[in-house]
Structure 1
Amino acid sequence: MSLLKKLRESRNLSHSELANQIGVSSDEIKSWEKEASCISKDGLSSLAYYFGSSSEELQDMFAGNESYIMTNTHYIFAEDEESGWWGHFGLCLNGQKDSKWFPITLGQANRISNALDNMSSRDQWLTVETLNNRILLFRPTMVSRMWTLDDDADQPMGDWNPPWDGYSGNPSEFYKGLEEYYWSSIGCEGEYTVAKNVQAAVESFTDIHDLDLEQVAELVLETQIYNLEGRTFSHIVDGSRLSELMFSADIGESVMILNLSNDNFDFYIPSDNVALIDMPKRFVDQYIREEGYFEEDENAN
């Protein structure tokens, strides 16, 4: 059975129902199920958007490089049950009244709980991947409080403000379209690689929320660094720097100085003064995909 057929049947859709959802013919769906290499660029983008993933990840799965895909609603073909939108992670920084809320999977909720229960050092960092295009890197001992909140749980009184860019997150393909919308709006050359329905969703989103280009850049390109005094610095940090920070956190390495440089400037912050690094997930994922950062490190060891 083809992978696209499995995807279609995972939603209990007929050929015509899936075709109507993404704006193609039933015959095209049938053709794609027989031979994934026949899927057009727009078709791949539309499928990724509909199933809540990215065209890159979907392509990897069709090529046999991935056994499941991560979506904003659930993992398709995953062996475990800790997947899909589960609820929210709340993080309150020192000196602030309200928590920042992020949609997460059950797997991330369990990972957070396990890490906090077994934390052995004040210098230990924790990485959390959200469903609204963010990766959070922070030291739990440097924040005021944390929540993992099931969607069925009562919302904390006076401390509940879910993210405005998606209560349960948006597909990665949507954020890809948002990136391309930004670069196109500032006059950079290049063509859209997302499908027209994704472009339409992005344009509708920016209109509804009345977003200017600075807010779009903050969503998809910029890393926000929150220090212990409550100040925020926003920069486009090189993907290699962000990946190195994540890798250091995962192996428990203590980093005294954080290198947040990019091609245009050198930027360093003492880690003792950092409460939270909030980075765009697609930006980091793209670097890892293109450069194979983690694979190279594993091979070196």
Structure 2
Amino acid sequence: MEKLKNLRKLYNYKQKDLAAILGVKPKDISDWELNKSQPELKMLRDIAVIFGTSVYDLLNNDVVTITSWKPWNTDEKIDSFWGHIGILLYNSYVIKWYPITSATANKVECDLHDDQPDTQTKILAVETLNNRVLFINKSIIKKISLLGDSSDMPKDWELPWDGYQGLGAEEYYNLIKEYFFNYEHFCENTSEQLQIIIDELIKKNRITDDNVLELINDVYIYFHDNTTETISIGDASALLNSIMDIEFEMSRFIHFEDLNGEIHFIPIESIGLIDMPLYLYKTGSHELSDNE
């Protein structure tokens, strides 16, 4: 696991430090990093939470977004917070604000300053600190704003219900889904310490059978006429694939299937913003990668 070694060094952990946190021997860490052995799923989940990522990302070549975490501390603030991105839709007077990192702010600025037709994108993709992914149709919105942390808060700002970092590490979302839909597997393959954290997260955020899909499957589509539709999507790969088709001018429709089996076709000209859970985006991206 070359990625484990890279993450450990980025977080300034020595092998003995990480071993102490995980309750294993330093030699175990060394063996994992040298691919002499691989940790079981329980341990992989603990490692993913420590580094604020997911088991899937630990085991493949995806780039892991580096943030600042303290193991097992669900109240830890992310130190890479830069400020907010705001999106103002047509026929609306209220800006939608989302917390972002400095890297994301720079990415947005570079994209919007790019005046070369060959490199201009139609859809601006933005990953937020509260574990959302935004697809912004730049030709349909009225304005994009960037507001640094040192600036005064806008009057219409509201803190997201899940705060500036969502629920925490990406793996939390996988675990919460498993908790509700495959509880036996959750108990068998999750450490006691991590089970306690998930229990506390569920209670603290009042997540239930009735609203868990809002957290992991609900996509908010904001139309140019300032109406909104919320759709629960089971498989995000079709949605992501259709967004890529629009970028390459192979289609003008966003299309996807919801959890009820209904297939939706929505012209991109009618959409200003798509707001989806990072968990759903990542699972859809993984499915696209695995099918290549």
Per the shorter chain, which TM-score range? 0.7 to 0.9
Structure 1: distance between partners of 2:286 and 2:263: 24
2:223 maps to which of 208, 222, 227: 227
Q: Tell me if the contact between 1:72 and 1:168 (Cα under 8 Å) persists in the aligned partners.
A: no
1:145, 1:137 → 2: CA distance?
14
1:107 is aligned to 103
Partner-residue secondary structure (3-state), 1:142: coil
- Opposite residue 109 of structure 2, the aligned amino acid is S
What are the superposed Cα offsets for residues 259-294 of structure 1, whole Å, 9 maximum, x if unpaired? 23247112222333222111223223223323427x
Where does residue 40 of structure 1 map in the other structure? 40
Residue in structure 2 matched with residue 157 of structure 1 by the alignment = 154
Bigger helix fraction? 1
Q: Distance in 2 between matches of 1:87 and 1:36?
A: 43
SS of match in other structure, 1:138 = strand
Whole-Å Cα distance in 2 between the matches of residues 137 and 4 of structure 1?
31
CA distance in 1, matches of 2:97, 2:194: 25
Does structure 2 conserve the Cα–Cα contact (< 8 Å) formed by 1:133 and 1:220? no
Change (3 A) 1:18 1:217: same
What's the secondary structure of 2:199's corresponding residue? helix
- Correspondence for 2:128: 130
Preserved CA contact (<8 Å) 1:52 1:171: yes
Aligned identity (percent) is 28
Find the counterpart in structure 2 of residue 239 from structure 1.
Answer: 236
Where structure 1 has 5 or more consecutive residues not aligned to the other structure, the ranges are 75-82, 297-301
**Is residue 175–residue 186 contact of structure 2 (8 Å, CA) maintained in 1?**
no
Moved more, 242-251 or 169-178: 242-251
Corresponding residue number in structure 2 for 1:181? 179
The reply to whether residue 209 of structure 1 matches residue 240 of structure 2 is no
Q: CA 1:195–1:94 in 2, change beyond 3 Å: closer, same or farther? A: farther
TM-fit CA distance, 1:110: 2.1
Report if aligned partners of 1:99, 1:159 keep a CA contact under 8 Å in 2.
Answer: yes
Measure the CA separation in 1 of the matches of 2:89 and 2:215: 20
What TM-score comes out, normalization by structure 2 length?
0.77
| Structure 1 equivalent of residue 73 of structure 2 | none
**Secondary structure at the counterpart of residue 202 of structure 1:** helix
SS at match of 1:235: strand
Selected match of 2:64 from 55, 65, 69: 69
The residue number in structure 2 matching 1:299 is none
Provide the C-alpha distance between the structure 2 equivalents of 1:94 and 1:214, rounded to a whole number of angstroms: 33
Aligned length: 277
The 8 Å contact of residues 55 and 173 in structure 1, kept in 2 or not, is answered as: yes
CA distance in 1, matches of 2:191, 2:16: 19
Counterpart residue number, 1:171: 169
12-21 vs 261-270, which deviates more?
12-21
Residue segments in structure 2 that go unaligned for 5+ positions in a row: 70-78
Report the CA distance shift for 1:129/1:194 in structure 2 as closer, same or farther (over 3 A): farther
CA shift for structure 1 position 173: 1.0
Q: Which amino acid aligns with 1:222?
A: D
Paired residue type of 1:106:
S
Query: What is the letter of the counterpart of residue 228 of structure 1?
Result: H
**Code of the aligned partner of 1:284:** Y
* Structure 1: distance between partners of 2:50 and 2:9: 14
Name whichever of 224-233 and 207-216 sits farther off: 207-216
How far apart, CA to CA, are the structure 1 residues paired with 2:281 and 2:254? 16
CA offset digits 1:65-85 (Å, max 9, x no partner):
45x5223449xxxxxxxx955
What's the offset of the Cα at 1:45? 0.9
Is the CA contact 1:42–1:194 (under 8 Å) kept in the aligned structure 2?
Answer: yes
CA displacement, residues 220-248 of structure 1 (integer Å, 9 cap, x when unaligned): 11211122333322223332322213313
CA-CA distance at 1:86 after TM superposition: 3.6
Kept in 2: contact 1:224–1:232 (CA 8 A): yes
Q: Give the CA deviation at 1:54.
A: 0.9
Q: 1 CA distance for matches of 2:285 and 2:251?
A: 21
Give CA-to-partner distance per residue, 1:53-106, whole Å, 9 cap, x none: 11111112xxxx45x5223449xxxxxxxx955433222334445433333333
In structure 2, the residue matched to 1:276 is 273
